[in-house]
Structure 1
Amino acid sequence: MMTQIVFYVFAAVLVLSATMVVSARNPVHSVLFLILAFFNAAGLFLIAGAEFLAMTLVIVYVGAVAVLFLFVVMMLDVNFTHMREGVQRYAPIGGVVGGVLLVELLMAFMHWRSATNIGQIAHLVPSSPTRTNTAALGDVIYTHYIFLFQACALVLLVAMIGAIVLTLRERPTGRRQNIDRQHDRMPAGSLEMLQVPLGAGVDAQGGFLRPHESYDIAAVPGTYGTEAWREAEAREADGTALVIATPATGTKGEGNE
């Protein structure tokens, strides 16, 4: 009786929190309700005797995925008002897709049948009253399905590398150096020794100094901080940069004196 009461409490809170995830206006609140839903789902797994899935849900999804969502939502300056402008326009399409998924779920549950010979099915790992689910899953994954498990890891690695490559952007403020020329530099061309009077400090001498060409010697031409970059910035600030404008054709009043 107590188990049923706990089950219904966890299930009710899970359904309510899942509803609030998609209906909350504040995205931070949505992520917090998502974390609550994960915790209640882990409680349901514990009641069902699947402690490995419960701990995985808490450690992986709550401790990593949901917290990552929360950090991204809180740190990025996302204009959610602009993102919601097209909700009413695409609401009918979303309703149709949701209706199709609901019908599929109802059909699947209506035709759900349990196998009559479930006790006669041969198990890969012999069952034992003293053996936990975690140990049994470890034996299955790392013995019978080790190659498939490693293949899944490789697929995730390729997906991670692809995401990094696709989202990598060239930053104009990055300082790139020519490694060979950097190694060929001598201390005399990189450092400037100063005789600072006692008690005067470095600020009195104009701050930390270095030869003007110390960075330009080893830097890739045109990158941030080089002389060519400074000249281009100065020309752009003075308005002397060359701008090629193509005259418009067929405008109103063309050819009028």
Structure 2
Amino acid sequence: MERILPLERGINLRELGGYETEDGRHVRWHKLMRSGHLGELSEADEETLRIAGLRQVVDLREEAETIVVPDRSMRGVHAHHMSVYPFTNQLPQNVGLARIARLNRAGLSLAGQIYAQMLTDPHAIGVWQRLFAVLLKNRRAHQAVLFHCTAGKDRTGVAAFLILNALGVKRPAILQDYMLTNLTFSSLSPSELNGLLVPGQDAALANELNKQPMVSEQDFEVMELTVRLMAGDFMTYLTNIVGITPRQVERLRELYLE
């Protein structure tokens, strides 16, 4: 299976199948995808995605973004629009002064501030609830949900962080998935990218992941710290803040793991 799909005009579009969980299971292929916007896809790309099982698209962009660059309308694919922005509150209102001091000590970049907002703001939390509802309704085998923003970097990165953690995927794999954005915006071809994502290529992969400044491990750690500060651990955060019940998590894993 290929993580980076061989598309003509896809943007940061990749499969989430194959990642290993803490209990030794793996994310099913042809069930989850992430990407940048779908406005430049070719007819051949549409066919590739159809064969890969794409049936639902969740667009996390603001309405203005969707007007400027609308997604390609694809036969047999149902689209959901749920904008992560605008936020309801400023970050201090969402996390409190004590927690924001902890975040600042961790080195809070502009991207990190936005990530912390996406994990704590009431409007964004409502979007994640709706996203998980879509995932829980995706019950048929070999039918995939794709979620995306404009570049498939920040809003999509936070969504993937939430979903993969909910599935119990191992931390190194979740971090690698986040950092893969740096590879997909490099000059490497899909076949070259996939060649780095095989066992035995760890050193070469790490070197390539850190060449581009698109995303950083420090900002990933801000997401983890935000979750810990708000709830202590991820599953408590998912239940108490996002509102996803343990039974829904169990069902999600039944649908997306093997």
**Global fold match (TM > 0.5):** no
Q: TM-score, normalised by structure 1?
A: 0.19
Higher relative contact order (CA 8 A, sep 6+): 2
Write 1 or 2 for the structure with the bigger share of strand.
2
Select the structure of larger CA radius of gyration: 1
